[in-house]
Amino acid sequence: MKKWFYIKLVLFILLLGGSLLVWQYLPEQVPSHWNFEGVPDRYWPRIYSVFFAPGIYLAMWILFSFLPKLDPKKEKYQLFVDAWNILQMVFLVFFVYLQAIMFAYILMPGLDFTKMILIGLGIMFVLIGNYMGKIKQNYFIGVKTPWALNDVDNWNQTQRVGGWMFVIAGLVFLLEAFWQWQIVAATLSLVILMVFVPFVYSYYLYRRSGK
């Protein structure tokens, strides 16, 4: 457990230190939001862009620490503790990655922001998908249908199918990063795929089992 704590601490120091390092190179107003074409459509003072990300990182770190304690199925987390720690790192590293490409876009205006976002999303979803099958019953992470929460076999099979959907979505995001054909349509379709397919499959398992 201490190993993961130190990894998160080092990552936070890198995030905060990197943000402070680029402070002097940022304009007074920096982009805070991009549309689907990768064009900034909102701005805020540079001080927000420097300290907002480290603050959110700390909030996520604290939240991840408390979730198992708040979960009615808290004892289940010991059954997938390694997967749980890796999934936390996937989210935290992705957040640091977002901060890095935001600064890169500001300092290197020619950077294809949309492409970098899609690459990050693709890698994140593939990693999440690979570990979803290891997640045990809980109320905070995974595909949490009522049928899965009430039946261990349903849960395990639903997570495996959900994991495949995440992997497929991640691969499509990676292809779309270089293709960029229909980003909005692809994103909406993948969200439906990741939510609808596991939900329907979980219900199918419930009906088939007769429980």
Which two three-digit tokens encode residue 31?
A: 């982009």
At 3 the pLDDT is: 86
Rounded-to-integer distance, Cα 208 and Cα 65, Å: 37
pLDDT in tens, 63-99: 999 999 999 999 999 999 999 999 999 999 999 999 8
| pLDDT value of position 37 | 64
pLDDT at res. 121 = 92
Cβ-contact 92, 50 below 8 angstroms: no
pLDDT digits (tens, 9 = 90+) for 150-201: 999 999 999 999 999 999 999 988 988 887 777 677 777 888 888 899 999 9
Which run of H or E residues covers position 40? Answer: strand 40-45
Residue 1, pLDDT > 70, answer no
CB atoms within 10 A of CB 37: 11
Q: Model confidence at 211, in pLDDT bands (50, 70, 90)? A: low
The tally of domains found in the chain comes to 1
pLDDT tens for residues 37-72? 667 777 788 888 888 889 999 999 999 999 999 999
Whole domain around residue 109: which residue ranges? 2-209
Question: Who contacts 198 (Cβ-Cβ below 8 Å, separation ≥6)?
Answer: 143, 145, 158, 161, 162, 165
> In the structure, what pLDDT confidence band is assigned to residue 204 with cuts at 50, 70 and 90?
very high
User: What's the pLDDT tens digit per position in 117-162?
Assistant: 899 999 999 999 999 999 999 999 999 999 999 999 999 999 999 9
Please give the pLDDT value at position 22.
86
In this prediction, residue 36 carries a pLDDT of: 65
pLDDT of residue 210: 75
Q: CA-CA distance, 124 to 91, in Å (whole number)? A: 8
